[in-house]
A and B are shown apart, each in its own frame.
Chain A
Amino acid sequence: MTTTSQKGGYISQAWLVILLAVIYGGALAGVQTALGPIIEKNKKNETLSKVPQLVEGAARELTVEVELADADGNRQTVYQAFADDGEKTLKGWILPAGGQGFADRIEVLIGLDPDASVITGLYVLDQKETPGLGNFITDEELFLNQFAGKSANQPLEVSTTDPVVGNQIRALTGATISSDSVAKIVNRAIAAYQQPLRRERAAATERNEKKD
């Protein structure tokens, strides 16, 4: 076989692959254009649907996304929750946070009051803790409800025995590390973003006053 016929052979053999690549590429582009927006909406909805239960009195549809930077320059999207009372009063903040749990990463949503001094709620978005033990951190009655009302001005502590005093939360029996990880994640996030949240609230109030 001569080299020229081999070379011509490559293209003549590969034409099908190239044609298929173009057709499939077009199909995928079409799928992405059609389904991309729906997927984005789904991702946003995950957080937005939790707004009413994390911040009391907030309306889901009025939630606004804001990007904040902490002291180290890390950027984070937080959510402003407003009440549906005509004046759009700021009801609170939703702060996404994450960190290492016992098994894998835990992602949570922290609800805070407008001044970022009181935790109003906690929701676990994503976790892979041990089923039957660690994964009870997603249970409202057993674990999450105790976060509401805790002060955000001092770090949360974890207690393994009753009674629970001060800014302590009760760890789940058999899931001490998972409970401790959640407390650490909350503490770290609040420590990093409490001041930026307060600054943003002051800036927003100024903007509103200037408009009036």
Chain B
Amino acid sequence: MDTLITLIQIGIGAALINNFVLHYFVGICPFLGVSRRIDTAFGMGCAVTFVISIAAMLSWTFTYFILRPEAPLPAWVWQTCGGDPAVTVDLSVLSYIMYIFVIASSVQFVEMYVRKFFPPLYKSFGVFLPLITTNCAILFACLEIMKHLQEPAKLWGLHEALTLAVGGGVGFTIAITLMAGIREELDMCDVPKPLAGAGISLITAGILAMAFMGFAGVDKGIERTIGMLLQ
């Protein structure tokens, strides 16, 4: 039960309370660039969620087994080659390079998948699909997972990492779709010329961020509610 509550907290935390776009400011470039129409925005959101999940799974695996300070694989290799067992092998300095390659590979994989099974979607994405590699949100998810794999006492399992990733992707999709809906309406409004485009989008994002601030404290409420329901 505790695990389930933790997972719900992580998921809702990533999707709503600490929304990747509106709280952590990651994924702003596609958020501003692709949010002109609801269907492209939703498609982009789904693609990003897909990529984040794969990237999170791969980066958790690599970090858990190779890159964290007490990882089993480097220690095994070190000892097999006759190294002193008291010395810890810490490969965490290679983390960022590893993550960016994982992300690039995940994007490549998703690109091939979409091209094979959803050709019209692939055409409508155009250059934006490979650009997901530079989407801060995915690297940010990997970094958050790495943060939770540092202390041996409180390691995150694959389920928690995946929940964070999917939650973050869902949150990104919610934010970008909301923005697309608002921008479709804004297109018919009389926006002052200097603010047209990025300016008014950012101001709208600010108001959206204010609205999402209302979600703060929801995870504590969930804990309390589930606690009460179970009694």
Contacts and interface: CB of A to CB of B under 8 A. Distances in A.
Direct contact of A and B (CB under 8 A): yes
A29 B93 contact: yes
A74 B90 contact: no
Interface residues of B, number: 12
B120 interface: no
A74 B152 CA distance: 10
A75 B153 contact: yes
Nearest to A180: B220
B18 interface: yes
A139 interface: no
Given A74-B153, A75-B153, A76-B153, A103 B93 contact: no
Given A74-B153, A76-B153, A31 B217 contact: no
A153 to B, nearest CB: 26
Contacts of B152: 75
A117 to B, nearest CB: 25
A173 interface: no
Contacts of A29: 93
B227 to A, nearest CB: 13
B220 A25 contact: no
B88 to A, nearest CB: 11
A148 interface: no
B160 interface: no
Nearest to A21: B97
A24 B97 CA distance: 10
Nearest to A101: B220
A31 B93 contact: yes
A205 B90 CA distance: 36
A200 interface: no
Contacts of B219: 100
A88 B153 CA distance: 30
A16 B9 CA distance: 46
Contacts of A100: 9, 219-220
A102 B219 CA distance: 9
A102 B220 contact: yes
Interface residues of A, number: 16
Contacts of A32: 90, 93
B115 to A, nearest CB: 22
Contact of A104 (B18, B94, B153): B18
Nearest to A31: B93
B195 interface: no
B16 to A, nearest CB: 13
Most buried by B among A25, A76, A103: A103
A191 interface: no
Contacts of B203: none
A28 B90 contact: no
Contacts of A102: 216-217, 220
A65 to B, nearest CB: 14
B153 A25 contact: no
Interface string A130-166: 1000000000000000000000000000000000000
Contact of A28 (B18, B94, B217, B220): B94
A36 interface: yes
Contacts of B90: 32, 36
Contacts of A74: 153
Interface of A: 24-25, 28-29, 31-32, 36, 74-76, 100, 102-104, 130, 177
10 contacts: A28-B97, A32-B90, A32-B93, A75-B152, A75-B153, A100-B219, A102-B216, A102-B220, A104-B18, A177-B220
CB-CB nearest 8 A-B residue pairs: A32-B93, A28-B93, A102-B217, A75-B153, A103-B216, A74-B153, A177-B217, A28-B94
Given A75-B152, A177-B220, 17 more contacts: A25-B94, A28-B93, A28-B97, A29-B93, A31-B93, A32-B90, A32-B93, A75-B153, A76-B153, A100-B219, A102-B216, A102-B217, A102-B220, A103-B216, A104-B18, A130-B216, A177-B217
